[in-house]
Chains A and B, each alone.
Chain A
Amino acid sequence: MNEDLRNDELLRSYLLGKLPEEGAERLEARLIEEDELFDLCEAVEADLLAAYDRGELTGWEKERVRRLASSPAGQERLALARALNSAARRPERTAAPVVPLRRRAFPIPQPLIRWTALAAAVLLVAIGAFWIPQSLKRSGPIEAGTKILTPAKRTGKDAPKRPGTLAIQVPKDRQPRTESDRPPQRDERAAKPLERRQPFVVALSLAALRSAEGTENVRIPSDEELIEFQIDLEGLEGESFHAAVRSKEGGTTVWESHGLGPKRLDWGTALILRIPAHLLPSGSYEVVVTAESDKYIKDLEVVRETR
Protein backbone atom coordinates (compact mmCIF):
# COMPACT_ATOMS: atom_id res chain seq x y z
CA MET A 1 0.00 0.00 0.00
CA ASN A 2 1.30 3.48 -0.83
CA GLU A 3 2.79 5.07 2.30
CA ASP A 4 1.06 8.38 1.60
CA LEU A 5 -2.36 6.76 1.23
CA ARG A 6 -1.88 4.72 4.39
CA ASN A 7 -0.92 7.81 6.42
CA ASP A 8 -3.75 9.80 4.94
CA GLU A 9 -6.36 7.16 5.83
CA LEU A 10 -4.90 6.63 9.29
CA LEU A 11 -4.90 10.32 10.12
CA ARG A 12 -8.40 10.89 8.83
CA SER A 13 -9.67 7.91 10.82
CA TYR A 14 -7.83 9.11 13.91
CA LEU A 15 -9.26 12.63 13.71
CA LEU A 16 -12.76 11.31 13.11
CA GLY A 17 -12.44 9.02 16.13
CA LYS A 18 -12.67 5.82 14.08
CA LEU A 19 -9.37 4.24 15.10
CA PRO A 20 -9.43 1.60 17.88
CA GLU A 21 -7.66 2.72 21.06
CA GLU A 22 -4.47 0.72 20.41
CA GLY A 23 -4.17 2.09 16.91
CA ALA A 24 -4.70 5.65 18.16
CA GLU A 25 -1.98 5.23 20.81
CA ARG A 26 0.50 3.83 18.27
CA LEU A 27 -0.26 6.68 15.92
CA GLU A 28 0.18 9.26 18.67
CA ALA A 29 3.62 7.84 19.48
CA ARG A 30 4.52 8.39 15.82
CA LEU A 31 2.92 11.84 15.71
CA ILE A 32 4.98 13.10 18.59
CA GLU A 33 8.22 11.78 17.07
CA GLU A 34 7.74 12.41 13.35
CA ASP A 35 7.46 16.12 12.55
CA GLU A 36 6.29 15.57 8.98
CA LEU A 37 3.53 13.19 10.05
CA PHE A 38 2.45 15.69 12.70
CA ASP A 39 2.35 18.48 10.09
CA LEU A 40 0.31 16.20 7.85
CA CYS A 41 -2.14 15.53 10.67
CA GLU A 42 -2.64 19.25 11.20
CA ALA A 43 -3.10 19.63 7.43
CA VAL A 44 -5.73 16.86 7.33
CA GLU A 45 -7.51 18.51 10.27
CA ALA A 46 -7.50 21.86 8.42
CA ASP A 47 -8.92 20.15 5.32
CA LEU A 48 -11.68 18.60 7.44
CA LEU A 49 -12.53 22.00 8.91
CA ALA A 50 -12.67 23.56 5.42
CA ALA A 51 -14.85 20.69 4.17
CA TYR A 52 -17.13 21.11 7.21
CA ASP A 53 -17.54 24.80 6.40
CA ARG A 54 -18.41 23.98 2.78
CA GLY A 55 -21.06 21.49 3.91
CA GLU A 56 -19.27 18.51 2.35
CA LEU A 57 -19.32 16.17 5.35
CA THR A 58 -21.92 13.55 6.23
CA GLY A 59 -23.96 13.61 9.45
CA TRP A 60 -21.68 11.77 11.86
CA GLU A 61 -18.50 13.25 10.30
CA LYS A 62 -19.93 16.73 10.90
CA GLU A 63 -20.46 15.84 14.53
CA ARG A 64 -16.87 14.66 14.97
CA VAL A 65 -15.43 17.73 13.29
CA ARG A 66 -17.69 19.92 15.38
CA ARG A 67 -16.02 18.33 18.39
CA LEU A 68 -12.57 19.16 16.99
CA ALA A 69 -13.65 22.77 16.60
CA SER A 70 -15.21 23.04 20.06
CA SER A 71 -12.17 24.39 21.96
CA PRO A 72 -11.27 28.09 21.65
CA ALA A 73 -8.24 27.18 19.54
CA GLY A 74 -10.39 24.88 17.41
CA GLN A 75 -12.87 27.68 16.81
CA GLU A 76 -10.03 29.93 15.69
CA ARG A 77 -8.92 27.30 13.22
CA LEU A 78 -12.45 26.85 11.92
CA ALA A 79 -12.78 30.61 11.55
CA LEU A 80 -9.56 30.68 9.52
CA ALA A 81 -10.81 27.85 7.32
CA ARG A 82 -14.07 29.71 6.80
CA ALA A 83 -12.22 32.91 5.91
CA LEU A 84 -9.96 31.06 3.45
CA ASN A 85 -12.95 29.42 1.78
CA SER A 86 -14.57 32.82 1.49
CA ALA A 87 -11.42 34.44 0.10
CA ALA A 88 -11.01 31.62 -2.40
CA ARG A 89 -14.60 32.04 -3.59
CA ARG A 90 -14.18 35.76 -4.15
CA PRO A 91 -10.59 36.31 -5.18
CA GLU A 92 -11.34 39.78 -6.61
CA ARG A 93 -11.77 41.06 -3.05
CA THR A 94 -8.29 40.20 -1.88
CA ALA A 95 -5.80 43.05 -1.67
CA ALA A 96 -3.71 41.62 -4.47
CA PRO A 97 -4.85 39.85 -7.63
CA VAL A 98 -4.69 36.05 -7.60
CA VAL A 99 -2.58 34.67 -10.40
CA PRO A 100 -3.25 31.20 -11.84
CA LEU A 101 -0.92 28.50 -10.57
CA ARG A 102 1.20 28.02 -13.63
CA ARG A 103 4.93 27.95 -14.11
CA ARG A 104 5.77 31.11 -15.99
CA ALA A 105 8.02 31.00 -18.99
CA PHE A 106 11.11 33.13 -18.91
CA PRO A 107 10.06 36.47 -20.46
CA ILE A 108 11.00 36.68 -24.14
CA PRO A 109 10.79 39.95 -26.11
CA GLN A 110 7.81 40.02 -28.49
CA PRO A 111 9.71 40.81 -31.71
CA LEU A 112 12.00 37.85 -31.07
CA ILE A 113 8.99 35.58 -30.72
CA ARG A 114 7.59 36.81 -34.03
CA TRP A 115 10.83 36.35 -35.93
CA THR A 116 11.39 32.92 -34.42
CA ALA A 117 7.87 31.84 -35.39
CA LEU A 118 8.35 33.11 -38.92
CA ALA A 119 11.68 31.30 -39.28
CA ALA A 120 10.16 28.07 -37.95
CA ALA A 121 7.25 28.30 -40.40
CA VAL A 122 9.60 28.84 -43.35
CA LEU A 123 11.72 25.88 -42.26
CA LEU A 124 8.69 23.60 -41.98
CA VAL A 125 7.45 24.58 -45.40
CA ALA A 126 10.90 23.92 -46.84
CA ILE A 127 11.13 20.51 -45.17
CA GLY A 128 7.64 19.65 -46.31
CA ALA A 129 8.37 20.73 -49.84
CA PHE A 130 11.39 18.44 -49.92
CA TRP A 131 10.15 15.45 -47.91
CA ILE A 132 6.65 14.87 -49.26
CA PRO A 133 7.68 14.40 -52.88
CA GLN A 134 10.50 12.10 -51.70
CA SER A 135 8.14 9.92 -49.68
CA LEU A 136 5.60 9.81 -52.48
CA LYS A 137 8.29 8.61 -54.84
CA ARG A 138 9.12 5.77 -52.43
CA SER A 139 5.63 4.53 -51.61
CA GLY A 140 3.14 5.92 -54.09
CA PRO A 141 -0.09 7.72 -53.21
CA ILE A 142 -1.36 7.46 -49.65
CA GLU A 143 -3.53 4.36 -49.50
CA ALA A 144 -6.93 4.00 -48.01
CA GLY A 145 -6.49 3.07 -44.37
CA THR A 146 -3.88 5.74 -43.81
CA LYS A 147 -4.86 8.04 -41.01
CA ILE A 148 -3.62 11.55 -40.51
CA LEU A 149 -2.73 11.80 -36.87
CA THR A 150 -2.42 15.05 -34.99
CA PRO A 151 -0.42 14.81 -31.80
CA ALA A 152 -2.74 14.97 -28.80
CA LYS A 153 -2.84 18.33 -27.10
CA ARG A 154 -0.81 18.14 -23.93
CA THR A 155 0.27 20.75 -21.44
CA GLY A 156 3.21 21.18 -19.07
CA LYS A 157 5.99 18.65 -19.19
CA ASP A 158 4.18 16.47 -21.70
CA ALA A 159 3.84 19.26 -24.26
CA PRO A 160 5.05 18.14 -27.72
CA LYS A 161 8.33 19.72 -28.70
CA ARG A 162 7.40 20.16 -32.36
CA PRO A 163 3.96 21.11 -33.49
CA GLY A 164 2.68 19.78 -36.75
CA THR A 165 0.83 17.00 -38.43
CA LEU A 166 2.26 13.62 -39.30
CA ALA A 167 0.95 11.46 -42.10
CA ILE A 168 1.78 7.81 -41.67
CA GLN A 169 0.59 4.65 -43.29
CA VAL A 170 -1.46 2.42 -41.02
CA PRO A 171 -2.03 -1.22 -41.94
CA LYS A 172 -5.68 -1.76 -42.78
CA ASP A 173 -6.10 -4.35 -40.04
CA ARG A 174 -5.15 -1.98 -37.23
CA GLN A 175 -7.52 0.48 -35.61
CA PRO A 176 -6.32 4.08 -35.58
CA ARG A 177 -5.76 5.60 -32.17
CA THR A 178 -7.11 9.07 -31.79
CA GLU A 179 -6.89 9.63 -28.05
CA SER A 180 -6.88 13.15 -26.78
CA ASP A 181 -5.78 14.30 -23.35
CA ARG A 182 -8.11 17.24 -23.24
CA PRO A 183 -11.27 16.76 -21.19
CA PRO A 184 -14.33 16.01 -23.34
CA GLN A 185 -16.31 19.08 -24.35
CA ARG A 186 -20.03 19.19 -23.60
CA ASP A 187 -21.12 18.57 -27.19
CA GLU A 188 -18.81 15.57 -27.47
CA ARG A 189 -20.21 13.79 -24.44
CA ALA A 190 -23.14 12.28 -26.25
CA ALA A 191 -20.74 10.62 -28.69
CA LYS A 192 -18.66 9.01 -25.93
CA PRO A 193 -19.46 5.81 -24.14
CA LEU A 194 -21.07 6.37 -20.71
CA GLU A 195 -18.01 5.14 -18.80
CA ARG A 196 -15.70 7.79 -20.35
CA ARG A 197 -17.72 10.86 -19.27
CA GLN A 198 -16.71 12.90 -16.22
CA PRO A 199 -19.17 11.92 -13.47
CA PHE A 200 -20.72 14.12 -10.78
CA VAL A 201 -19.21 12.78 -7.57
CA VAL A 202 -21.15 12.38 -4.32
CA ALA A 203 -19.27 11.07 -1.27
CA LEU A 204 -21.18 9.00 1.28
CA SER A 205 -19.96 7.29 4.40
CA LEU A 206 -20.74 3.69 5.18
CA ALA A 207 -20.76 4.39 8.93
CA ALA A 208 -23.51 6.92 8.24
CA LEU A 209 -25.30 4.25 6.29
CA ARG A 210 -25.13 1.94 9.26
CA SER A 211 -26.62 4.44 11.67
CA ALA A 212 -28.95 5.92 9.02
CA GLU A 213 -28.76 9.34 10.68
CA GLY A 214 -31.20 11.54 8.88
CA THR A 215 -31.49 12.16 5.20
CA GLU A 216 -28.61 13.28 3.04
CA ASN A 217 -29.54 16.14 0.72
CA VAL A 218 -27.83 15.84 -2.65
CA ARG A 219 -28.01 18.64 -5.19
CA ILE A 220 -27.15 17.53 -8.71
CA PRO A 221 -27.06 19.86 -11.71
CA SER A 222 -29.79 18.97 -14.16
CA ASP A 223 -27.38 18.68 -17.09
CA GLU A 224 -25.22 16.03 -15.47
CA GLU A 225 -25.34 12.69 -17.23
CA LEU A 226 -23.49 10.40 -14.87
CA ILE A 227 -23.47 10.33 -11.07
CA GLU A 228 -20.77 8.57 -9.10
CA PHE A 229 -21.49 7.68 -5.49
CA GLN A 230 -18.22 7.10 -3.62
CA ILE A 231 -19.16 5.14 -0.51
CA ASP A 232 -16.44 5.18 2.15
CA LEU A 233 -15.63 1.63 3.25
CA GLU A 234 -13.32 2.67 6.10
CA GLY A 235 -13.00 -0.13 8.65
CA LEU A 236 -15.14 -2.53 6.64
CA GLU A 237 -13.64 -5.63 5.09
CA GLY A 238 -15.15 -7.44 2.21
CA GLU A 239 -14.43 -8.33 -1.35
CA SER A 240 -17.87 -8.26 -2.87
CA PHE A 241 -20.86 -6.00 -2.27
CA HIS A 242 -24.36 -5.65 -3.61
CA ALA A 243 -25.66 -2.11 -4.00
CA ALA A 244 -29.08 -0.81 -5.01
CA VAL A 245 -30.78 2.57 -5.27
CA ARG A 246 -34.53 2.48 -4.64
CA SER A 247 -37.13 5.16 -5.14
CA LYS A 248 -39.07 5.69 -1.93
CA GLU A 249 -41.98 7.18 -3.82
CA GLY A 250 -42.52 4.32 -6.21
CA GLY A 251 -40.94 1.61 -4.08
CA THR A 252 -39.04 0.46 -7.14
CA THR A 253 -35.37 -0.31 -7.62
CA VAL A 254 -34.00 2.22 -10.08
CA TRP A 255 -30.46 0.86 -10.16
CA GLU A 256 -28.53 -2.06 -8.72
CA SER A 257 -25.31 -3.95 -9.15
CA HIS A 258 -23.89 -7.20 -7.80
CA GLY A 259 -20.33 -8.24 -7.17
CA LEU A 260 -18.95 -4.75 -6.64
CA GLY A 261 -15.41 -4.68 -5.33
CA PRO A 262 -13.78 -1.97 -3.19
CA LYS A 263 -11.70 0.60 -5.10
CA ARG A 264 -8.65 2.43 -3.79
CA LEU A 265 -8.99 6.23 -4.06
CA ASP A 266 -6.45 8.74 -2.88
CA TRP A 267 -8.44 9.46 0.28
CA GLY A 268 -9.35 5.86 1.15
CA THR A 269 -11.18 2.73 0.07
CA ALA A 270 -14.60 3.18 -1.45
CA LEU A 271 -17.41 1.42 -3.21
CA ILE A 272 -18.09 3.17 -6.51
CA LEU A 273 -21.63 3.31 -7.85
CA ARG A 274 -21.89 4.84 -11.33
CA ILE A 275 -25.48 5.68 -12.09
CA PRO A 276 -26.89 7.36 -15.21
CA ALA A 277 -28.32 10.64 -14.00
CA HIS A 278 -31.60 10.21 -15.83
CA LEU A 279 -32.41 7.40 -13.38
CA LEU A 280 -32.31 9.90 -10.49
CA PRO A 281 -34.76 12.74 -11.05
CA SER A 282 -35.60 14.89 -8.01
CA GLY A 283 -37.11 12.79 -5.28
CA SER A 284 -36.53 10.57 -2.25
CA TYR A 285 -34.35 7.51 -2.51
CA GLU A 286 -32.57 4.98 -0.39
CA VAL A 287 -29.13 3.58 -1.10
CA VAL A 288 -28.84 0.00 0.11
CA VAL A 289 -25.46 -1.72 0.41
CA THR A 290 -25.27 -5.37 1.38
CA ALA A 291 -22.06 -7.12 2.43
CA GLU A 292 -22.50 -10.78 3.37
CA SER A 293 -25.05 -10.66 6.18
CA ASP A 294 -24.87 -6.93 6.86
CA LYS A 295 -27.17 -4.42 5.24
CA TYR A 296 -26.76 -0.65 5.31
CA ILE A 297 -29.33 1.87 4.20
CA LYS A 298 -29.01 5.60 3.61
CA ASP A 299 -31.84 7.95 2.76
CA LEU A 300 -31.16 10.54 0.08
CA GLU A 301 -33.16 13.53 -1.04
CA VAL A 302 -32.07 14.30 -4.60
CA VAL A 303 -32.67 17.75 -6.03
CA ARG A 304 -31.88 18.28 -9.69
CA GLU A 305 -31.21 21.94 -10.25
CA THR A 306 -30.06 24.21 -13.08
CA ARG A 307 -26.52 25.57 -12.73
Chain B
Amino acid sequence: MTRGNGKNGKPPRKPRGLTQEGFEALLAQLDPDRERAAGLYETIRRKLVRLFEWRGCEAPEDLADETFDRVARRLDEGVELKSSNCYGYFCGVAQFVYKEVLRQSCRQRRALESGGWPPPQPMSEADDPRLECLRLCLADLAENERDLVLRYHQGENNIQNRQDMASELGVELNALRIRVHRVRRKLEDCVYKRLAH
Protein backbone atom coordinates (compact mmCIF):
# COMPACT_ATOMS: atom_id res chain seq x y z
CA MET B 1 0.00 0.00 0.00
CA THR B 2 1.49 3.35 -1.03
CA ARG B 3 1.88 5.65 1.94
CA GLY B 4 3.91 8.55 0.58
CA ASN B 5 2.02 11.80 0.75
CA GLY B 6 4.72 14.25 -0.28
CA LYS B 7 4.21 16.07 3.00
CA ASN B 8 6.79 14.31 5.13
CA GLY B 9 9.82 15.40 3.11
CA LYS B 10 9.96 12.15 1.13
CA PRO B 11 9.96 12.52 -2.66
CA PRO B 12 6.69 11.75 -4.42
CA ARG B 13 6.43 8.40 -6.22
CA LYS B 14 7.08 8.91 -9.95
CA PRO B 15 4.71 7.04 -12.31
CA ARG B 16 6.47 4.08 -13.91
CA GLY B 17 5.99 5.11 -17.55
CA LEU B 18 7.24 8.65 -17.08
CA THR B 19 10.79 9.94 -17.43
CA GLN B 20 12.22 12.05 -14.66
CA GLU B 21 12.09 15.12 -16.93
CA GLY B 22 8.49 14.46 -17.83
CA PHE B 23 7.66 14.04 -14.17
CA GLU B 24 9.39 17.31 -13.23
CA ALA B 25 7.52 19.10 -16.02
CA LEU B 26 4.25 17.68 -14.68
CA LEU B 27 5.06 18.88 -11.15
CA ALA B 28 6.00 22.32 -12.50
CA GLN B 29 2.59 22.58 -14.15
CA LEU B 30 0.82 21.67 -10.92
CA ASP B 31 2.55 24.39 -8.94
CA PRO B 32 5.69 26.55 -9.33
CA ASP B 33 6.68 25.62 -5.77
CA ARG B 34 8.02 22.06 -6.02
CA GLU B 35 7.04 21.05 -2.49
CA ARG B 36 3.46 22.24 -2.96
CA ALA B 37 3.41 20.55 -6.37
CA ALA B 38 4.57 17.27 -4.80
CA GLY B 39 1.80 17.50 -2.20
CA LEU B 40 -0.78 18.19 -4.88
CA TYR B 41 0.51 15.32 -6.99
CA GLU B 42 0.23 12.85 -4.11
CA THR B 43 -3.28 14.08 -3.26
CA ILE B 44 -4.45 13.64 -6.85
CA ARG B 45 -2.76 10.25 -7.10
CA ARG B 46 -4.34 8.97 -3.89
CA LYS B 47 -7.77 10.13 -5.08
CA LEU B 48 -7.35 8.54 -8.49
CA VAL B 49 -6.31 5.23 -6.93
CA ARG B 50 -9.44 5.29 -4.78
CA LEU B 51 -11.71 6.18 -7.69
CA PHE B 52 -10.38 3.20 -9.63
CA GLU B 53 -10.87 0.99 -6.56
CA TRP B 54 -14.44 2.20 -6.13
CA ARG B 55 -15.08 1.34 -9.75
CA GLY B 56 -13.93 -2.20 -9.03
CA CYS B 57 -10.78 -2.08 -11.17
CA GLU B 58 -7.89 -4.45 -10.69
CA ALA B 59 -4.50 -2.75 -10.24
CA PRO B 60 -5.85 0.74 -9.40
CA GLU B 61 -2.33 2.05 -8.77
CA ASP B 62 -1.24 1.07 -12.30
CA LEU B 63 -4.28 2.81 -13.73
CA ALA B 64 -3.48 5.95 -11.73
CA ASP B 65 0.07 5.84 -13.15
CA GLU B 66 -1.38 5.42 -16.65
CA THR B 67 -3.51 8.50 -16.07
CA PHE B 68 -0.51 10.57 -15.05
CA ASP B 69 1.44 9.27 -18.09
CA ARG B 70 -1.27 10.43 -20.44
CA VAL B 71 -1.57 13.82 -18.79
CA ALA B 72 2.19 14.27 -18.99
CA ARG B 73 2.14 13.38 -22.71
CA ARG B 74 -0.55 15.96 -23.35
CA LEU B 75 1.42 18.55 -21.45
CA ASP B 76 4.34 17.74 -23.77
CA GLU B 77 2.03 18.39 -26.71
CA GLY B 78 1.33 21.86 -25.42
CA VAL B 79 -1.79 21.49 -23.27
CA GLU B 80 -1.61 23.72 -20.23
CA LEU B 81 -3.00 22.86 -16.85
CA LYS B 82 -4.82 25.79 -15.32
CA SER B 83 -5.16 25.81 -11.54
CA SER B 84 -8.93 26.04 -11.94
CA ASN B 85 -9.24 22.89 -14.09
CA CYS B 86 -6.34 20.84 -12.76
CA TYR B 87 -8.41 18.29 -10.84
CA GLY B 88 -11.07 18.11 -13.49
CA TYR B 89 -8.49 17.41 -16.18
CA PHE B 90 -7.02 14.46 -14.31
CA CYS B 91 -10.49 13.14 -13.58
CA GLY B 92 -11.48 13.35 -17.25
CA VAL B 93 -8.39 11.43 -18.36
CA ALA B 94 -8.95 8.85 -15.61
CA GLN B 95 -12.49 8.27 -16.86
CA PHE B 96 -11.14 7.60 -20.36
CA VAL B 97 -8.65 5.14 -18.92
CA TYR B 98 -11.44 3.43 -17.00
CA LYS B 99 -13.64 3.09 -20.10
CA GLU B 100 -10.75 1.56 -22.04
CA VAL B 101 -10.15 -0.95 -19.26
CA LEU B 102 -13.84 -1.79 -19.30
CA ARG B 103 -13.87 -2.36 -23.07
CA GLN B 104 -10.74 -4.48 -22.96
CA SER B 105 -11.92 -6.72 -20.17
CA CYS B 106 -15.52 -7.72 -20.99
CA ARG B 107 -15.01 -11.00 -19.31
CA GLN B 108 -13.91 -9.25 -16.13
CA ARG B 109 -17.03 -7.08 -16.28
CA ARG B 110 -19.30 -10.10 -16.59
CA ALA B 111 -17.64 -11.59 -13.53
CA LEU B 112 -18.16 -8.30 -11.66
CA GLU B 113 -21.85 -8.16 -12.54
CA SER B 114 -22.54 -11.82 -11.90
CA GLY B 115 -21.09 -11.55 -8.43
CA GLY B 116 -18.31 -14.04 -8.93
CA TRP B 117 -16.08 -12.40 -6.32
CA PRO B 118 -14.92 -14.86 -3.73
CA PRO B 119 -15.57 -13.69 -0.18
CA PRO B 120 -12.46 -12.40 1.56
CA GLN B 121 -11.19 -15.07 3.97
CA PRO B 122 -11.14 -13.61 7.44
CA MET B 123 -8.38 -14.59 9.83
CA SER B 124 -9.53 -15.84 13.22
CA GLU B 125 -9.35 -13.13 15.86
CA ALA B 126 -6.79 -15.07 17.86
CA ASP B 127 -4.43 -15.23 14.85
CA ASP B 128 -4.98 -11.74 13.50
CA PRO B 129 -2.01 -9.54 14.44
CA ARG B 130 -4.01 -6.49 13.37
CA LEU B 131 -6.26 -6.81 16.40
CA GLU B 132 -3.37 -6.57 18.84
CA CYS B 133 -1.83 -3.68 16.88
CA LEU B 134 -5.21 -1.97 16.85
CA ARG B 135 -5.52 -2.27 20.60
CA LEU B 136 -2.11 -0.67 21.08
CA CYS B 137 -2.97 2.06 18.59
CA LEU B 138 -6.31 2.70 20.32
CA ALA B 139 -4.42 3.17 23.58
CA ASP B 140 -2.27 5.81 21.87
CA LEU B 141 -5.28 7.85 20.83
CA ALA B 142 -6.67 10.74 22.82
CA GLU B 143 -9.49 9.55 25.07
CA ASN B 144 -12.25 11.40 23.23
CA GLU B 145 -11.07 10.04 19.87
CA ARG B 146 -10.98 6.49 21.23
CA ASP B 147 -14.48 6.86 22.72
CA LEU B 148 -15.73 8.28 19.45
CA VAL B 149 -14.49 5.52 17.18
CA LEU B 150 -15.40 2.61 19.50
CA ARG B 151 -18.87 3.87 20.24
CA TYR B 152 -19.46 4.50 16.53
CA HIS B 153 -18.65 0.84 15.82
CA GLN B 154 -20.90 -0.60 18.47
CA GLY B 155 -23.14 -2.92 16.54
CA GLU B 156 -26.32 -2.82 18.58
CA ASN B 157 -28.97 -0.39 17.39
CA ASN B 158 -26.34 1.19 15.21
CA ILE B 159 -28.37 3.82 13.36
CA GLN B 160 -29.98 5.15 16.53
CA ASN B 161 -26.62 5.04 18.31
CA ARG B 162 -25.01 7.19 15.61
CA GLN B 163 -27.89 9.66 15.57
CA ASP B 164 -27.58 9.99 19.35
CA MET B 165 -23.84 10.58 19.03
CA ALA B 166 -24.36 13.26 16.37
CA SER B 167 -26.95 15.02 18.60
CA GLU B 168 -24.63 14.90 21.60
CA LEU B 169 -21.84 16.46 19.59
CA GLY B 170 -24.19 18.96 17.99
CA VAL B 171 -23.24 17.97 14.43
CA GLU B 172 -24.93 16.43 11.41
CA LEU B 173 -24.59 12.68 10.86
CA ASN B 174 -22.21 13.13 7.93
CA ALA B 175 -19.97 15.45 9.92
CA LEU B 176 -19.80 12.71 12.58
CA ARG B 177 -18.91 10.20 9.87
CA ILE B 178 -16.05 12.36 8.66
CA ARG B 179 -14.73 12.87 12.19
CA VAL B 180 -14.78 9.14 12.83
CA HIS B 181 -13.17 8.48 9.49
CA ARG B 182 -10.27 10.80 10.29
CA VAL B 183 -9.64 8.88 13.51
CA ARG B 184 -9.90 5.62 11.53
CA ARG B 185 -7.24 6.91 9.14
CA LYS B 186 -4.93 7.62 12.08
CA LEU B 187 -5.52 4.08 13.31
CA GLU B 188 -4.94 2.66 9.84
CA ASP B 189 -1.57 4.41 9.57
CA CYS B 190 -0.63 3.35 13.10
CA VAL B 191 -1.57 -0.30 12.51
CA TYR B 192 0.29 -0.27 9.20
CA LYS B 193 3.47 1.04 10.89
CA ARG B 194 3.25 -1.49 13.73
CA LEU B 195 2.69 -4.38 11.32
CA ALA B 196 5.61 -3.23 9.18
CA HIS B 197 7.86 -3.47 12.23
Contacts and interface: CB of A to CB of B under 8 A. Distances in A.
> DSSP majority for the A interface?
helix
A94 to B, nearest CB: 5
B181 to A, nearest CB: 4
B148 interface: yes
B114 to A, nearest CB: 9
A245 B135 CA distance: 45
A266 B175 CA distance: 13
A39 B120 contact: no
Contacts of A81: 153
B155 interface: yes
A89 B134 contact: no
A102 B144 CA distance: 9
Contact of A87 (B150, B165, B178): B150
Given A66-B117, A85-B155, A95-B135, A32 B48 contact: yes
B130 interface: yes
A266 B154 CA distance: 19
Contacts, number: 175
Contacts of B125: 86
Interface string B127-147: 010110011101100011011
> DSSP majority for the B interface?
helix
A101 B95 contact: no
B56 A68 contact: yes
Interface string B164-197: 0101100011110110111011011001100000
A32 B91 contact: yes
B134 A33 contact: no
Nearest to B174: A4
B151 A88 contact: yes
B112 interface: yes
Nearest to B154: A88
Contact of A66 (B120, B134, B150, B192): B120
A46 to B, nearest CB: 6
B130 A79 contact: yes
A269 interface: no
A54 interface: yes
Interface residues of A, number: 69
B148 A101 contact: yes
Contacts of A4: 172-175
Interface in A81-101: 81-89, 91, 93-96, 98-101
A87 B138 contact: yes
Contact of A42 (B50, B87, B173): B50
Given A36-B178, A88-B153, A101-B165, A72 B1 contact: yes
B181 A42 contact: yes
Nearest to A29: B91
A19 to B, nearest CB: 11
A85 B152 CA distance: 9
A284 interface: no
A89 B155 contact: yes
Contact of B134 (A54, A84, A267): A84
Quick one: which of A44, A54, A85, A86 has the most chain B CB within 10 A?
Answer: A86
9 contacts: A32-B47, A40-B178, A66-B120, A83-B130, A84-B153, A87-B135, A93-B135, A99-B147, A266-B173
Interface of A: 4, 7-8, 14-15, 17, 24-25, 28-29, 31-33, 36, 38-47, 50-51, 54, 56, 60, 63, 66-89, 91, 93-96, 98-103, 156, 201, 266-267
Given A4-B174, A32-B51, A74-B53, 12 more contacts: A32-B90, A32-B91, A33-B91, A63-B117, A66-B117, A70-B56, A84-B149, A94-B146, A99-B143, A101-B148, A156-B168, A266-B173
